[in-house]
Amino acid sequence: MAEVQLVILFTSVALVVIGLYSAIFLDNIIKKIIGISFIEEGVNLFIVAIGYKAGGIVPILMPGMDTTWFASNAAYPLPFGLVLTSIVIGASTLAVMLALVMVLYRRYGTLSTKVMLADTSKREEYNE
């Protein structure tokens, strides 16, 4: 495994762990959502790292290139395609989550999940 690839993998693990911590333990909904983004980006980075090839070339077959040479030197393109799709999905999810948060913020006037996502019975206690 290339050194660069190892560094990327450690970074992606760090992103996922920090993201999980924020999403599970922090009370502020925006911080939770930032944590969720960290998890998604960590996973995307991991998949990009799978396709990394030390000294590899961009996987686009240009006219005149020898196909055997291209096959042995090009980076693996499948992970990049997957990550591109994953980024789009992540952005859509993020947009929907933020839209829901906007509605709930207008209703409760707070970003605390303890208040806005509490059980119905507990919510009445917080309102008091």
Partner 1 sequence: MNEIIPIMVIVPLMAALLISAFSKFNKVTKIFAFVVALCLPLIPILSNYGLHYFGGYQPMLDNVTGVMYHPAITYSFTFLQQIFIAAIGLLTFLVIFIYLTKYKKVSGPYLFLLFLGTAAVTAMILTDDIFHMFVFFEILALAQVGIVAASSIDYSYEMALKYMILGSIGSPMMLLGIGFLLALTGSVNVSDIAAAVHAGLVNATSPVFLLSLALIFFGWLYASGLPPFHTIKSGIYSKAEPHGAALLQSFTVISMISIVLIMFRIYASLPIFEVLIVFFSILAMILGVSLALTQTDFRRMIGFLAVGELGFIGLGIGLGTNFSITAGLFQALNEIIITALLFIGFGAIVNATNEVDTRKLGGLLAYHPKVSIMLLIGGLAMAGVPPLSGFQSKLMLVQASLSCGYPELSILAIMVSIATFVVFVKTYYTMFLKPKPNDLDLENKEVPKAMIFAMGVLLVIVILLGVFPDVVTSGISNFVGGIL
The token duo for 103 is 């509605």
Give the Cα separation of 80 and 50 in Å (integer).
Answer: 9
Give 40's contacts (C-beta < 8 A, 6+ positions apart).
19, 86, 90, 93
Q: How far is the CB of 64 from partner 1 (least distance, A)?
A: 23
Give the Cα separation of 30 and 24 in Å (integer).
Answer: 12
CA atoms within a 13 Å half-sphere pointing along the CA-CB vector of 85: 5
Q: How far is the CB of 82 from partner 1 (least distance, A)?
A: 5
Chain-centroid distance of CA 3 in Å reads 23
* Contacts with partner 1, residue ranges (CB under 8 A): 16, 20, 23-24, 29, 32-33, 36, 39-40, 42-43, 46-47, 50, 76, 78-79, 82, 85-86, 89, 92-93, 96-97, 100-101, 103-104, 107, 116-117, 120
Cβ-based nearer residue to partner 1, 57 or 117? 117
Cβ-based nearer residue to partner 1, 65 or 111? 111
Q: How far is the CB of 55 from partner 1 (least distance, A)?
A: 19
Cβ-based nearer residue to partner 1, 64 or 94? 94
Hey, which residues does 28 pair with through a beta bridge? 112
Q: How far is the CB of 114 from partner 1 (least distance, A)?
A: 12
